[in-house]
Structure 1
Amino acid sequence: MDTNQLWKERFQSHIKMVSRYMRLIFNDHLAFAMIFFVAAFAYFYQAWLETVPDTFPVEWIVVGIVGALLTYSPVRTFFKEADTVFLLPVENKLRPYVRNAVIYSFVMQSYWIAIALFALAPLYLQIYDNVSASYILVMIVFALVVKVGNLFATWFMQKTRDIRYHYFDIGIRFVVNGFIMYFLAIGVPYFALIGSLLIIGVCFLNYHNLYKGSTLPWDRLIDQEDAKLQFFYRIANMSTDVPDLKRKPKKRHGLVRLVTGRMPIRRKQTFTYLYAITFIRSGDYFGMYLRLVALALFFVFWVPAFWGKVLFAVLFLFMSGFQFIAIYNHHRTVEWLRLYPVTVDVRRKAVHQLILVIMVVQVVITTIGFVWASDWLNALIYLSIAAAFTVLFEAFYVRGRIRAFKG
């Protein structure tokens, strides 16, 4: 078996799948919202830099963000369930396959490290005004070299099933990576070089004690690959239908009882009850909603200008309403829902009500944030703008999108 050719085939299949879904994700209003978000963030980021104090701990920001990106170094293998049968006999010939997997993982994860350091560069150069801009390139190159060591350390660690070793390895590497980035940030690369030698030592220990002479944990690697694939599917499912998405609901009994406890048991409330439980128990929707609300509050407190706060708050309000329209098709493969003795209008009305409620809750939370971050008058101005936007968005945009769905 030519495992190098096998990698090429799986890599091409993966790129084809990702590109197809990315076109669908960014072929809607979400693309415009993201471009608008990046432009607005850059503008207010530049305005914030003019007011940042010289004592701002930018080096610890670099340690936290870049250190975490260096430590999180999974190797994408594209292994499938059938590989436990067909690839297990040729495990000793998978060296080219694993090499390509490490190279691919390095390239994809290096983008995030470079983006993070370039995004932090204006803040870093504002605090360390005696450092040249070319030093940022030195930090990026050094970080990428350290990333290679983290990737190999992670891969060598895969052969142990003891979760304690995994947590210990992550903790040690995060401390060492933070050590490296801290001394790079303060301009002492010699100590950072010592930290890189420690990463090499971790790689050697993982290889000698765990990897050498052991077989690959196929079930674990396949589960990890499936988890990464399902994570991408959940993101894509917010904008389009993903037939390969596996639904894994969460219990959250207390929250379900709180929301549905006073809900009347009537025929017209059938889908209201169903979609409320779906929103709470599905990790796709409730988790995304909490993150969007948290980001809205972050920008309300971070952006200095009042209209900038309003801009970001309304933008995340739009993203919340836009993302959860897809809940209408969440149960599209459950045929027995068609047996409900209720009309399609009842189902559509339930989605309208759910989106209206989650947007109103977000408006209330961000209004409280405006009270803390600004004053009562500005909070009332935002409340009136957000309330008008919510009503118009739900009445026109959501109604049109839902009526376009079949069934």
Structure 2
Amino acid sequence: MDTNQLWKERFGHHVKMLSRYLRLMFNDHLAFALIFFVAAGAYFYQEWLEGVPDTFPVDWIMAVVLGLLLAHSPVRTFFKEADTVFLLSVENRLGPYIRNGVIYSLIIQGYWLAIFLFVFTPLYLKIYSGTDAQYLLVMLGVLIGVKIINLLAVWFLDKSRERRLHYFDVIVRAAINIMLVYFLVNGELLYVLIATALIIGVAFLNYWNIYQKYSLPWDALIEKEEARLQLFYRLANLSTDVPDLKRKPKKRHGLVNLVTKPINHDQSNTYTYLYFITFIRSGDYFGMYLRLIGLTIFFIFWVPLFWGKLIFAILFLFVTGFQFITIYNHHKTLDWIQLYPVAQHVRKKAVHQLIFLLMLAKVVVVFVLFMFASDLVDAIIYAGVGLAFTLLFENFYVKARIERMS
């Protein structure tokens, strides 16, 4: 078996899958909203930089963010369940396959390191005004080198099934990486070398104590790979239907009882009950809703100008309504739901009610916090614009999208 060719085939399949779903995820108005978000964020970032004090702890912020990115270094393998049979006999010849996996992981994770370093660059040069801009290239080179070491350390440890050892390794590497980035930001190259030596030591210990002694835990590696794939499917499912998504509901009895108690148990509320429970018990929808509220709160406190706060608040209100339209087809693969003796317009009405209440609840929460981020008059203006936008969005955009999905 040519394991190098096997990697090329699986990588090609992975790229086709990514391109297909990313094209569906960033169509319609979501791509425009993201472009507007990036442009507006860059503008207010520049405005905020003009008033940032010289004592702002950019070194520690960069150390924590970039250090955690360095510590999080999973190696993509694209292993599948059938590999426990077909690849087990060639495990000792998987060197080229694993090497390609490390290179692919380095490219993807190195890209995010470069993005975050690029975002921090204006703030860093503002606080460290005497630093040569070319030093940032040195920083990026060091970060990429340390990322390689972290990837190898994680891969060497992946042969162990001991969860506590994995947790301990993450904590130790995260602490070392954070201190390494802190010294790198401050130009303390001697301490950077010492921290790098410590990371190399961790990788060597993982290799000597784990990698040399054990064989590949195929079931654990396949489970991790499947978890990463399902994470991407869950994100894609917020914008389009993903047939391969494996949904794992959460119990959340308290929230379910709180939400469903006011609903009358009659035939006209069949889909209302179903979709409200789906929203609460599905980690995709409920978790996304909380994160969108959190991002909205962050921007209304961070952006200095009222109209900027208003734009971001309405933008995230649009994203909130847009993302949950897909709940209409959440149970599409369940044939028994089609047996409900309930008209389809009742199903559509239930989705309309859910989206309207979610957007309305978000307007109320942000209205209260707007008073602390600005003042009562600005909060009232936001509430009026938010309510008008919710009514127009729900009655026109959501209605049209659901009709196309039916």
SS at 1:69's partner residue? helix
Supply the AA of the counterpart residue of 1:71: A
Report the equivalent of 1:118.
118
Deviation of 1:188 (Å): 1.1
Supply the AA of the counterpart residue of 1:335: D
Deviation of 1:190 (Å): 1.7
- The size of the alignment, in residue pairs, is 406
**Under a length normalisation based on structure 2, what TM-score does the superposition of the two structures give?**
0.99
With 103-112 and 128-137 compared, the bigger mean Cα shift is at 128-137
Report the equivalent of 2:109.
109
C-alpha separation in 2, matches of 1:369 and 1:219: 47
Report the equivalent of 1:365.
365
Report the equivalent of 1:203.
203
Report the equivalent of 2:384.
384
Supply the AA of the counterpart residue of 1:318: F
Report the equivalent of 2:88.
88
Report the equivalent of 1:155.
155
C-alpha separation in 1, matches of 2:189 and 2:353: 57
Deviation of 1:239 (Å): 1.3
Give RMSD over aligned pairs: 0.7
C-alpha separation in 1, matches of 2:262 and 2:342: 21
1:317-356 matches, cutoff 5 A? 317-356=317-356
SS at 2:284's partner residue? coil
Deviation of 1:36 (Å): 0.5
Q: Which runs of 4 or more aligned residues in structure 1 lie more than 3 Å from their structure 2 counterparts after TM superposition? A: none
Report the equivalent of 1:287.
287
C-alpha separation in 2, matches of 1:213 and 1:7: 25
Identity of aligned residues (%): 62
C-alpha separation in 1, matches of 2:122 and 2:334: 51
C-alpha separation in 1, matches of 2:205 and 2:27: 47
SS at 1:284's partner residue? helix
C-alpha separation in 1, matches of 2:236 and 2:203: 35
C-alpha separation in 2, matches of 1:136 and 1:305: 31
C-alpha separation in 2, matches of 1:334 and 1:171: 43
For residues 340-361 of structure 1, the C-alpha deviation after alignment (integer angstroms, 9 at most, x for no partner) is 1110000000000000000001
Deviation of 1:302 (Å): 0.4
Deviation of 1:262 (Å): 2.0
Unaligned runs of 5+ residues in structure 2 are none
Report the equivalent of 1:137.
137
**2:5 counterpart of 1:5:** yes
C-alpha separation in 2, matches of 1:126 and 1:182: 17
Report the equivalent of 1:277.
277
Supply the AA of the counterpart residue of 2:26: F
1:245-284 matches, cutoff 5 A? 245-284=245-284
SS at 2:341's partner residue? coil
Deviation of 1:132 (Å): 1.4
C-alpha separation in 1, matches of 2:364 and 2:137: 44
Deviation of 1:214 (Å): 1.0
SS at 1:315's partner residue? helix
C-alpha separation in 2, matches of 1:217 and 1:130: 51
Supply the AA of the counterpart residue of 2:240: T
C-alpha separation in 2, matches of 1:185 and 1:66: 11
Report the equivalent of 1:310.
310
C-alpha separation in 2, matches of 1:134 and 1:388: 49
Deviation of 1:213 (Å): 2.8
With 274-283 and 132-141 compared, the bigger mean Cα shift is at 132-141
For residues 254-292 of structure 1, the C-alpha deviation after alignment (integer angstroms, 9 at most, x for no partner) is 000000012111111000000000000001100011101
Report the equivalent of 2:375.
375
C-alpha separation in 2, matches of 1:281 and 1:28: 28
Report the equivalent of 1:165.
165
Supply the AA of the counterpart residue of 1:239: S
Report the equivalent of 1:234.
234
Supply the AA of the counterpart residue of 2:290: L
C-alpha separation in 2, matches of 1:280 and 1:369: 24
**2:48 counterpart of 1:51:** no
For residues 79-137 of structure 1, the C-alpha deviation after alignment (integer angstroms, 9 at most, x for no partner) is 00000000011100101100110000001100000000010000011111111111111
**2:79 counterpart of 1:79:** yes
Supply the AA of the counterpart residue of 2:311: L
SS at 1:285's partner residue? helix
Unaligned runs of 5+ residues in structure 1 are none
For residues 297-348 of structure 1, the C-alpha deviation after alignment (integer angstroms, 9 at most, x for no partner) is 0001000000100010100000000000000000011111111111000000
**Under a length normalisation based on structure 1, what TM-score does the superposition of the two structures give?**
0.99
SS at 2:74's partner residue? coil
Report the equivalent of 1:27.
27
Deviation of 1:230 (Å): 0.5
Supply the AA of the counterpart residue of 2:396: F
Report the equivalent of 1:61.
61
SS at 1:241's partner residue? coil
C-alpha separation in 1, matches of 2:99 and 2:338: 50
Supply the AA of the counterpart residue of 2:256: V
